[in-house]
Amino acid sequence: MSSKVRVRFAPSPTGPLHIGGVRTALYNYLFAKKHNGDFILRIEDTDQNRYVEGAEQYIIDSLNWCNIPYDEGPGKEKDCGPYRQSERKNLYKEYADQLIESGNAYYAFDTAESLDAHRKEHEAEGKTFIYNWHNREKLKNSLALSSEEVAKRIEKGEHYVIRFKAPKDEILHTVDEIRGEMEIDTSILDDKVLYKSDGMPTYHLANIVDDHLMKITHVIRGEEWLPSLALHVLLYRSLGWESPKFAHLPLILKPKGKGKLSKRDGDKLGFPVFPLEWKDPNSGEIASGYREDGYFPEAVTNMLAFLGWNPGTEQEFFTIEELTEVFDLKRVHKAGAKFDPEKTKWFQQHYLQESDNSYIASEFLKILKTKNIDATLEYTKHVVDLVKERAIFIEDIWEQGFYFFVNPTSYDPKNTKKAWKETTNELMKELISVLKNIEDFKADKVSEEVKNWIKSKEIGFGKVMQPLRISLVGSLQGVDIFQIAEAIGKDKTIYRIENAIQIIKK
Ligand code: GLU
């Protein structure tokens, strides 16, 4: 086996990539980069019935968006291609044959109906039908039939499958990098189908052959594949190949209670379970995605990194580069990891605060455009400087700072009722005169002048400040009122106060 670390992410293009799949890809990527190895994308599309249009591109787009690009794979062909199993179809038969020759596999001709009948018969007796050493000698296969009969059936074009002959009574010892030593009693295994006469291998055979031919050194995948581990180890042994190392990542559980986080949970529970939005090509149904919901990829990958792993230190924020340095399979947990959508928001808030305000402003300008609002980058950046700390997503800048871009058209009735008294109209008119006299309309200056005037009138600050805020914002929300006044400028400030007097009129 080559000493260079080579890992693969091997999704089946059966729909959008679940966030759990993204975590598998991330851990593979981190492991590869930590060891200066290669990260390979292999599309496992042997099951044509489950193939979904657009799913492969979705997988590629998701990895790119998360900044975990693959080194080899579709579109990045290197020596071990092609990287789609459907394009490798002709490769697998030889290995199925090899397994038959060595006595590790056999032809089976049982029809779906006959297997169903066996299943029902067993059920009626309270038993479970397993196709393995229990009964394989009694079924329609090359272990029970004469070699002439087998040859005749194949020649006639009868449908067959090739099944692995799982050993009886063996305690298989193997190691999982996360779970440690494992012992599996092979008597409980069923004789899995490896190959079908339609020329297609099943997942198990294709997966093993490809991992071998692609020189994969470590198989890092979800816990749901743990039940296949024994078969895979046995297949390597039967083919005379050295097995890669295996690591099965813990399940991702629903935020509350037990059970696996499923593809359907997301929109039902109010958070995305997909990296990107996905439109089902058949139903047209849309499932939400982290990207479209405004999350930064850094927040998503940071959250995913902690979903089943921890660095063993107090540090919580990690860029991908930092993760590649500290990531270690030894620190991946065995127990299921609870998905925590609030934690993702918390990471998002951090990365928004960390990111460059010019970038946020340029992205926010796109949102303003959709509202038909024109603003300069400089002005928008100034607004971002003022309101960013209150935002989690770029989109929140609107909710937190819309009043920098539009005049209020309505006034919060509850606030207005409380703050706009009989005398307020007069006070506001006087305030306008004070403002008119301020030459240098800077926040500090405006604040000083207005406050001095209030003091000179010997009235409470709230009597002016609250109506002023209502005039400029439409409610009592918002950042420092004098910063707002400075940003929108003297004319607009006065205009908004005049408007409020007109509309609110007592
Ligand atoms: N095609 C399998 C999947 O969809 C790959 C499992 C593995 O990594 O071996 O998850």
* pTM of the predicted model as reported, rounded to 2 decimal places: 0.93
Question: Ligand 1 centre from 39 Cα, in Å?
Answer: 15
Q: Locate the ligand 1 atom nearest the alpha carbon of residue 14 and give its number.
A: 4
What letter would DSSP give residue 447? H
pLDDT exceeds 80 at position 257: no
Average pLDDT score, the chain: 96
Q: How do residues 6-19 score in pLDDT, each as one tens digit?
A: 999 999 999 999 99
Check if the beta carbon of residue 484 is closer than 8 Å to that of residue 404: yes
Query: Can you give the pLDDT at residue 242?
Result: 97
Q: How confident is the model at residue 3 (pLDDT cuts 50, 70, 90)?
A: confident
State how far the Cα of 217 lies from the Cα of 415, in Å rounded to an integer.
66
| Range name among 94-103, 158-167, 182-191, 497-506 with the lowest pLDDT average | 497-506
Q: Locate the ligand 1 atom nearest the alpha carbon of residue 211 and give its number.
A: 9
Which domains are present in the chain?
6-73+205-253 (3.40.50.620), 91-195 (3.90.800.10), 263-354 (1.10.1160.10), 407-505 (1.10.10.350)
Q: Locate the ligand 1 atom nearest the alpha carbon of residue 232 and give its number.
A: 9
Q: Whose CA is nearest to atom 2 of ligand 1?
A: 11
Q: Locate the ligand 1 atom nearest the alpha carbon of residue 9 and give its number.
A: 8
What letter would DSSP give residue 365? H
Q: How do residues 313-348 score in pLDDT, each as one tens digit?
A: 999 999 999 999 999 999 999 999 999 999 999 999
Q: Whose CA is nearest to atom 10 of ligand 1?
A: 11
Instruction: Tell me, letter by letter, the H, E, C secondary structure of 370-396.
Output: HCCCCCCHHHHHHHHHHHHHHCCCCCH
Query: Can you give the pLDDT at residue 394?
Result: 98
Residues with CB under 6 Å of ligand 1 are 10-12, 44, 207, 221, 225
Mean pLDDT for 114-139 is: 96
Q: How do residues 346-356 score in pLDDT, each as one tens digit?
A: 999 999 999 99
Give me the percent of the chain exceeding a pLDDT of 70. 99
Query: Can you give the pLDDT at residue 256?
Result: 87
Check if the beta carbon of residue 324 is closer than 8 Å to that of residue 311: no
Query: Can you give the pLDDT at residue 2?
Result: 52
pLDDT exceeds 50 at position 409: yes
CB neighbours of residue 55 within 10 Å: 21
Query: Can you give the pLDDT at residue 1?
Result: 47
Q: Answer left, alpha or beta for residue 366, where phi above 0 means left and psi between -120 and 50 means alpha.
A: alpha
Angle at which helices 377-387 and 357-370 cross, to 10°: 110
Displacement of CA 82 from its chain's centroid (Å)? 26
State how far the Cα of 24 lies from the Cα of 221, in Å rounded to an integer.
6
Q: Locate the ligand 1 atom nearest the alpha carbon of residue 203 and give its number.
A: 1
In order of 213, 234, 403, the CA distances from 242 in angstroms are: 12, 11, 66
Question: Ligand 1 centre from 346 Cα, in Å?
Answer: 31
pLDDT exceeds 50 at position 133: yes
Active site residues: 263
Tell which residue, 216, 230, 301, has the closest CA to residue 10: 216
Question: Ligand 1 centre from 12 Cα, in Å?
Answer: 7
Question: Ligand 1 centre from 24 Cα, in Å?
Answer: 10
Q: How confident is the model at residue 506 (pLDDT cuts 50, 70, 90)?
A: low
Kindly write down the DSSP assignment for every residue of 248-287, as one continuous string. EEPPEEPSSSSSBPPTTHHHHHTS-SBSS-EE-TTT--EE
Question: Ligand 1 centre from 11 Cα, in Å?
Answer: 5
Q: Whose CA is nearest to atom 5 of ligand 1?
A: 10
Q: How confident is the model at residue 269 (pLDDT cuts 50, 70, 90)?
A: confident
Q: Whose CA is nearest to atom 6 of ligand 1?
A: 10
Mutation choice for ligand 1 from 225, 229, 252, CB with most ligand atoms inside 8 A: 225
State how far the Cα of 302 lies from the Cα of 306, in Å rounded to an integer.
7
Query: Can you give the pLDDT at residue 467?
Result: 98
Mean pLDDT for 193-221 is: 96
Question: Ligand 1 centre from 246 Cα, in Å?
Answer: 13
Mean pLDDT for 136-158 is: 97
Query: Can you give the pLDDT at residue 489?
Result: 98
